[in-house]
Amino acid sequence: MADISKLLQRIDSEFAAGEQKVKAYQAEQAQAYEDRQSRLKMYEEVCEKLRDIWRPRLEALSQKFGERVKATPEVAGERRQATFKFNSNLAHIDLRFRVSTDQDVRKLVLDYELQILPILMKFEPHKQAEFPLEAVDPAAVAQWLDDRIVEFVRTYLSLHQNEYYLKNHMVVDPVAQVRFPRFAAASVLDWQGKKYYFISEKTRQDFEKKNKIS
């Protein structure tokens, strides 16, 4: 019978090498997990520090629109989100600000998402900014949020001045003979079963005087 001791030694060496690779892989993955958990903690700390930056800005946006907006904050896992639903008779408007991190938890990611339906005008539906987690600049985050909020306000106002959205919402002042959006009426009068819209209080007064309405 041939001597196979050397062969057995070589096989054992391969098994041993394989076990070492598995152990090395396990150690590497365990360390990667620990490192990711450490970065997640850093991410949470960064978000906590930035809360005083985005909270008052989003609250200001909500306050400026008053009852025309419903704001819903949401925290889910590694994501923080605020959704604004605007009450408009012209379109369905959803605005979303989201703070999250990338898969490796190395960046702070800011997202701005705007949905307007029906889409009858051009607007920016999405913008994103990324900051290295170890070097997030609060001033830059504040500036980015300010720019996005002003951009949305500009878009919102443009929508309510857009002829395609307004074509089914236009009225005529019976005195001034001026055609304008219904929401821009300075005064409204119900008379003889009909609703009249006026561009100013003066034209309403003239209408009432002409028709002897007391």
pLDDT digits (tens, 9 = 90+) for 1-44: 568 889 999 999 999 999 999 999 999 999 989 999 999 999 99
DSSP string for residues in 89-108: SS-EEEEEEEEEE-TTS-EE
Residue 89 has what pLDDT? 79
Residue 2 has what pLDDT? 67
The mean per-residue pLDDT over the stretch 133-147 comes to 96
Provide the token pair at 87: 């009450």
Asked whether the predicted pLDDT for residue 73 surpasses 70, the reply is: yes
Residue 149 has what pLDDT? 97
- The one-character DSSP state at 89 is S
Taking the C-alpha atoms of residue 164 and residue 169, their distance in angstroms, rounded to an integer, is 10
Kindly state the percentage of the chain with pLDDT values over 90: 72
Q: Which residues pair with 81 in a beta bridge?
A: 74, 98
Contact call for residues 148 and 112 (beta carbons, < 8 A): yes
Contact call for residues 173 and 199 (beta carbons, < 8 A): yes
- Chain centroid to Cα 85, Å, comes to 10
The Cβ of residue 59 has, within 10 Å, a number of other Cβ atoms equal to: 12
Asked whether the predicted pLDDT for residue 204 surpasses 60, the reply is: yes
